[in-house]
Structure 1
Amino acid sequence: MNSRIAACLLVALSPLPAAAQQRPAVVSDEAFRVCGDPANMPFSNRDEGGFENKIAELIAAEVKLPLRYFWMPQGPGFVRNTLGTKLCDVIIGYASGADPVQNTNAYYKSAFVLVTKTGGPLDGVDRLSDERLKDKRIGLIAATPPSDYMLRYGLLPKAKSYPLIVDRRYDSPAEAMISDIVSGEIDAGILWGPNGGWFARQASAPLTVTALTHETNGPPMSFRITFGIRHGELEWKRRLNELIAGRQGEIDKILLGYGVPLLDDQDRPITKPRS
């Protein structure tokens, strides 16, 4: 669960004290300084195995600066204690329109997804209004946008809720949901696209991941993801926008390699890197 998909997707830990690390003054010209979560796969981790880590490597190479991280678990105060204290200069994934940061241009768009057993009775379901879901037990992360649609279609009474606020070093609701789908504890699950795509690939049984792009008249189910930087740093924003545009195809390749369900501006699937 990526905590930067507005308030809906918060993965919480209380912020660690920033005073323990030195505080440079402005955007660094000595390193590409990234604000990162040390335990938030598939996005990032301290071993730099997430797709945001790989994108950061790509951008650092382009600007010809060493890559340096300031690690802090995401949660309340994450922006304030990272970008706000100038300990780092960019958050690699942040939802477009989120007020705490200045957004660059979006470098990908994804949506919440429905995860089901491949070859099962829910094959082909691509919207929560489908009658085949009426008597099914569906997993969802508490307090995320799909909850509104689940309520509208009468799917909440049988639903299994998974916690939104967790310490990802010790708990992973997305992995637990995927395991429950495989075991038959639940019939289907709804996850933020990058989580659903990644963890479905790790499952012990074949799973199908379907973007929920047909839900309307409610909270958004798809989000454009940007780099997040400090407000007022317009030259930094311009430079990052140039880098995103110039390396979009390579960014897409990284994202697709991690199973991220990518969408274009009309919510159509992107299945190969854009040129």
Structure 2
Amino acid sequence: MLKVTRKKWTGLCISAPAMLVAVLFAGTSSAQQVAGEIPASPDTLRICASANENPYTSKDGSGFENKVAQIIAKAMDRKAVFVYTEKPAIYLVRDFLDKNQCDVVMGLDTGDERVLTSKPYYRTGYVFVTRTDRNIHIKDWEDGQLEKLVSIAISVGSPAELILKAIGKYETNMNYMYSLINFKSPRNQYVRLDPSRMVNEVIQGKADAAIAYGAEVGRYVKASSVPLTMEFVPEDRVADGQGKTIEFNYSQSMAVRKSDGEILKQIDAAIAKEQSQITKVLEDEGIPLLPIES
């Protein structure tokens, strides 16, 4: 069974060949390396990242977590070394951090039990994305406007799926939802829906709305030539059918191995020192931010 978190599935997944990108950029402030080539060093901060997980990380360095990692490494007086894999980010802890292929993984839920997590460096939540000209504003999960939404773009296995089940809109939306991933079965495997596609579905009018994690879609909402509205989903507490409350807002941290408490102290100090610069990166990305909970 897979554990659902704000943007990642963790647990048992089918295996896939790992293609690791090895391109060294000499003379820059960071480098890309094949896992296992760079030993731990007090002069470097090895960051394991997915090569194709925009808007979070990308091997071209354009991901917002690439930029945050650079800020942290510089504040720690270390050189940022990115260890990229073609695997999705859900595998980074199990296959890379736990195997000492890197020192840190970006953007895990604060308090993730598998690791030690830093103080949070941002907090955001699930949002509704709609065309502004539709004038859709959902006040609560019983809002009459929800009844008028025929197609809603969501990621399979996300809190967005859970809420549709809880409010009785899952069955009517299911065929559309699965069409976005070409009807692949998500059982015991990870099937990622490109967040840019969710936003494009709204732009093109194929979806009445998207319910997505703010960090995933902020970039694409901001870049849209069609005016879009992005609003946090209602905060009212809804049970998921098994007696558990569906959570929509999450604080995000950097993660290290449980044995790396000293590195964590340095990371926490770097976050505290550079929080304003980190926040600017996130705001420039278009991520809707919530107050960070201590």
**TM range, normalised to the smaller chain?**
0.7 to 0.9
Verify: 1:110 aligned to 2:124, yes or no. Answer: yes
**Mean Cα displacement is larger for which, 126-135 or 231-240?**
126-135
**Mean Cα displacement is larger for which, 42-51 or 145-154?**
145-154
Structure 1 gaps of 5+ residues are 267-275
> Match for residue 153 of structure 2?
139
> Match for residue 8 of structure 2?
9
- In structure 2, the CA distance between the partners of 1:8 and 1:219, relative to structure 1 (3 Å rule), is farther
- In structure 2, the CA distance between the partners of 1:105 and 1:213, relative to structure 1 (3 Å rule), is farther
Give the counterpart of 2:206 among 182, 185, 196: 185
- TM-aligned CA deviation for residue 5 of structure 1: 7.6
> Match for residue 250 of structure 2?
223
- In structure 2, the CA distance between the partners of 1:262 and 1:15, relative to structure 1 (3 Å rule), is farther
After superposition, the CA RMSD in angstroms is 2.5
- TM-aligned CA deviation for residue 7 of structure 1: 7.5
Q: Structure 1: which amino acid aligns with 2:267?
A: L
Verify: 1:31 aligned to 2:31, yes or no. Answer: no
Q: Distance in 2 between matches of 1:227 and 1:108?
A: 10
Give the counterpart of 1:64 among 65, 70, 77: 77
Give 3-state SS (helix, strand or coil) of 1:200's partner.
Answer: helix
Give the counterpart of 1:212 among 222, 233, 238: 233
Give 3-state SS (helix, strand or coil) of 2:278's partner.
Answer: helix
Over residues 156-182 of structure 1, what are the superposed CA-to-partner deviations in whole Å (9 max), with x where a residue is unaligned? 233231447347xxxx53222212111
Give 3-state SS (helix, strand or coil) of 1:97's partner.
Answer: coil
- TM-aligned CA deviation for residue 129 of structure 1: 2.7
- In structure 2, the CA distance between the partners of 1:119 and 1:77, relative to structure 1 (3 Å rule), is closer
Q: Structure 1: which amino acid aligns with 2:16?
A: S
The answer to whether the 8 A contact 2:222-2:286 is kept is yes
Q: Structure 2: which amino acid aligns with 1:71?
A: Y
Counterparts of residues 68-217 of structure 1 (less than 5 Å): 68-72=81-85, 73-74=87-88, 77-122=91-136, 124-137=137-150, 138-159=152-173, 160-161=176-177, 162-163=180-181, 165-166=190-191, 172-217=193-238
Verify: 1:236 aligned to 2:287, yes or no. Answer: no
Aligned length: 256
Could you say which structure has the higher helix fraction?
Answer: 2
Give 3-state SS (helix, strand or coil) of 2:220's partner.
Answer: helix
Q: Structure 2: which amino acid aligns with 1:41?
A: N
Q: Structure 2: which amino acid aligns with 1:139?
A: A
Q: Structure 1: which amino acid aligns with 2:237?
A: T
Q: Structure 1: which amino acid aligns with 2:116?
A: Q
Q: Distance in 2 between matches of 1:5 and 1:51?
A: 23
The answer to whether the 8 A contact 2:118-2:268 is kept is yes
**Mean Cα displacement is larger for which, 126-135 or 178-187?**
126-135
- TM-aligned CA deviation for residue 219 of structure 1: 1.6
For normalisation by structure 2, the TM-score amounts to: 0.79
